[in-house]
Amino acid sequence: MAQRTPVDDDFFMPAEWAPHDRCWMAWPCREELWGGGLAAARNAHAEVAKAIAGFEPVIMLVNDGDVAEAARRCGASVSCQAMPLDDSWMRDSGPSFIIDGRGGLAGVDWRFNAWGDKFLPYDRDALVAERLLERLSVRRYAAPLVLEGGSIHVDGEGTLLTSEECLLHPNRNPDLDRAAIEDLLRRYLGVKAFVWLGQGLDKDETDGHVDNIACFVRPGVVMAVTCDDPADPNHAILADNLARLRKARDAKGRALEIIELPLPREPRYLDGPGNGQRLALSYVNFYIANGGIVMESFDDANDAQARAIVSKAFPDRQVVQLPALDILAGGGGIHCITQQQPRV
């Protein structure tokens, strides 16, 4: 007998702007990744958690030995719960929550391989989704697909936004072609139409996660990152993505309205100006909370402009902008460290 999939039971993934029951996060702990920046990363994660807690409940998952420290840093507004972790990228290691529109909640447990075996070990993070769904007594659908939550974005009306660089990368699902991947996404997320962008940001360790280059703002409207410096490798990458968006149609046959969002003006590097890995900075990597947006600032000349664009796109939500360079030092942003649980 064939394994049942979410669409067999009328489940689908709602948009991120749909009401949330809570937000899940995880506490940074991989010392070889964060190095001397671990304490700063923990403080930055705590600030994000406290900001989101102003809009909706937040639960921080923490390795057992770090619970007291996390609770102290996060404060009373954030609940800290013990769970074995390898690190803090809850968007990618956590489940993708799905609903059936009748009060039912379930979760998709994707196969997690630490972005193509980039960081070892990852056996604890590979079990986070299963353990969390078991803790919630929520039905689990185990998907036969290596996928991270940051590599997809949905509009809640049947359209999925993703990138070729990530989903077709040989370090994820080398035996699956585009058609096979689309078929699994249809069956596990209830989507019908796909908008394929090309590459993600230059030097993005995730191999091109879409949540660093574009997101749905509402049905039919996409916010996309742009770069106006022809000398920047991101200029051609993002111009190609814009061209693809202009040609795309969503599941309802609509052309997409595009809101352009600039990259930070100044490139930043892991080891200081011009040294080491370039950080994949992006303002679009924000978290949509109940009544709010929590987004990055980078002490950059474009911070205020980016906030104004996001505020105009979400007029019914309060925009909170937080310093995020200490999170980006680990390879991701605010969206990468959060996972919404929809309200049913």
CB 128 within 8 A of CB 96: no
Place of tokens 């979400």: 314
The string of DSSP letters for 51-81 reads HHHTTS-EEEEE-GGGHHHHHHHH-TTSEEE
CA-CA distances (angstroms) from residue 342 to 54, 97, 192, 325? 17, 7, 21, 28
User: Residue holding tokens 């585009």?
Assistant: 178
Taking the CB of residue 334, how many other CB atoms lie within 10 A of it? 27
- Looking at the chain, which runs of residues are DSSP E strands? 20-26, 58-62, 79-82, 96-99, 105-111, 139-146, 153-154, 159-163, 193-197, 214-218, 221-226, 257-262, 287-289, 292-297, 318-323, 339-342
227 is catalytic: no
Q: What span, in angstroms and rounded, lies between the C-alpha atoms of 323 and 307?
A: 13
Q: Which residue among 23, 29, 215, 336 is the active-site one?
A: 336
The answer to whether 163 and 209 are in contact (CB under 8 A) is: yes
Kindly list the catalytic residues.
Answer: 336
